[in-house]
Amino acid sequence: MNPSIIESEKQDWKNQLKHSIKNISDLIDFFGYDNIKNSPYEFILTKEYLDVFEKIQQGFRFKVTRYYLQLANINDPFCPILLQVLPHPNEIADPYFKDKDPLKEEIHSPISNLVHRYPDRVLWYISHHCAVYCRFCLRKRKVSNPASNTFRKNISDVIDYIKNQPTIKEVILSGGDPLSLEDDSIESILHQLKNIPHLYSIRIHTRMLVTLPHRITKNLCKIFDEYYPITVVTHFNHPKELTEIVYEKVRLLRKSGVLVLNQSVLLKNINDDVKILEELFLKLIQFGIKPYYLHHCDEVQGTSHFRVKLEKALDIIKELQGRNPGIAIPKFMVDLPEGGGKVPLTPVYLKEFDREKKEYIFYNYEFKNLYRIKDL
């Protein structure tokens, strides 16, 4: 393991957040001016990029933990870490995606901070903070903006709403990152939710395991154990993000009875490659994390440079079938615009129905041979 990553284990998570990199000068200091000047990221040093950076900051801030940045390779033009965190000119001049809320979450918010799009579940926005601000973020319109988070002002309203909607079976705690809250706030929320009899599931969506695994403390896991069962859905996009510290923190969660799932986003030039995803998904199950979803990147303003064509995405999923164990293949999900909701998209293995013989004709996973199943 990188010695600097080992050193970072000595710092608590709050101290690491305090010393996050939040501007260009910190970024230059971190890597060293000469190292950047002789790298594919020399553009960071130009006045043109600095001007773009400052404009982007006004809408969606830049922040990255030193732990996460230590995983980066400044000499790799396609470094999966840097490409996820460096602001891009498209963020202020996207030629394709113009909508800040393509999934229409605001329309489906009956009260502030709560999205109720499906009858059986709600998403509760409880923090505008993240350890790292990912440039492909779905909620760039809110995340990093303190004015977007009125969570503490209407906790009782949200709880009352959930109590009065018996069709709600699941609550998803999201943001931002819910684990940016203090332990006592998380415990209070879990306590109130667990007292609602018609709730079957509580999910916590967090990227802290990826960007600041030190947040997974023994005390936090003790809280999760007390309110068992809890599902943590994390967000690894590349094998480089799975470090030894992550392995230990996942073990801690699993020992506390937490089910750990992963949702990735398919990102151009970062993980849109069969071998990279094969390694990622295999490594996830090796760490004790179930690959759950692989998302098609949403049509959020300023993110079109991350978008992978659907045809290529389906080809990747097709190739993974048979290469990875079933447990290491997530569902490929498309979140439909205009609030249509998530739908799974899979390669079509059913070729046709032979009406004369009353047989269904299928391809197998290789899409080479055909197989027939009788329709009784």
211 burial via Cβ count (<10 Å: 0-12, 13-18, 19+): buried
Write the CA distances from 119 to 138, 168, 171, 210, 349, integer angstroms.
Answer: 21, 6, 11, 31, 31
- Laid out side by side, the sheet with 350-354 consists of 350-354, 359-363, 370-374
Q: Where are the alpha helices (DSSP H) in the chain?
A: 3-8, 13-18, 24-31, 33-37, 47-57, 66-69, 80-85, 155-163, 183-194, 208-211, 218-226, 244-255, 274-287, 310-320
Contact in structure between 8 and 16 (CB atoms under 8 Å): yes
Question: What's the pLDDT at 5?
Answer: 47
Give the model confidence (pLDDT) of 109-139 as tens digits: 999 999 999 999 999 999 999 999 999 999 9
CA–CA distance, 15 with 147 (Å, rounded to integer)? 24
Strand-pairing partners, residue 233, are 205, 261
Question: What's the pLDDT at 10?
Answer: 55
CA–CA distance, 264 with 317 (Å, rounded to integer)? 13
Query: Could you tell me the pLDDT band of residue 169, with boundaries at 50, 70 and 90?
Result: very high
Q: Where are the alpha helices (DSSP H) in 240-351?
A: 244-255, 274-287, 310-320
CA–CA distance, 307 with 290 (Å, rounded to integer)? 24
Query: Could you tell me the pLDDT band of residue 59, with boundaries at 50, 70 and 90?
Result: very high
Domains of the chain: 3-91 (no CATH), 114-344 (3.20.20.70), 347-376 (no CATH)
CA–CA distance, 7 with 222 (Å, rounded to integer)? 25
Give the model confidence (pLDDT) of 73-110 as tens digits: 999 999 999 999 999 999 999 999 999 999 999 999 99
pTM for this one? 0.94
Give the model confidence (pLDDT) of 213-243 as tens digits: 999 999 999 999 999 999 999 999 999 999 9
DSSP assigned state of 330: P
Query: Catalytic residue positions?
Result: 117-118, 121, 130, 134, 137, 139, 298, 335, 342
Helix (H, G, I), strand (E, B) or coil at 128: coil
Question: What's the pLDDT at 64?
Answer: 98
Q: Where are the alpha helices (DSSP H) in 179-273?
A: 183-194, 208-211, 218-226, 244-255
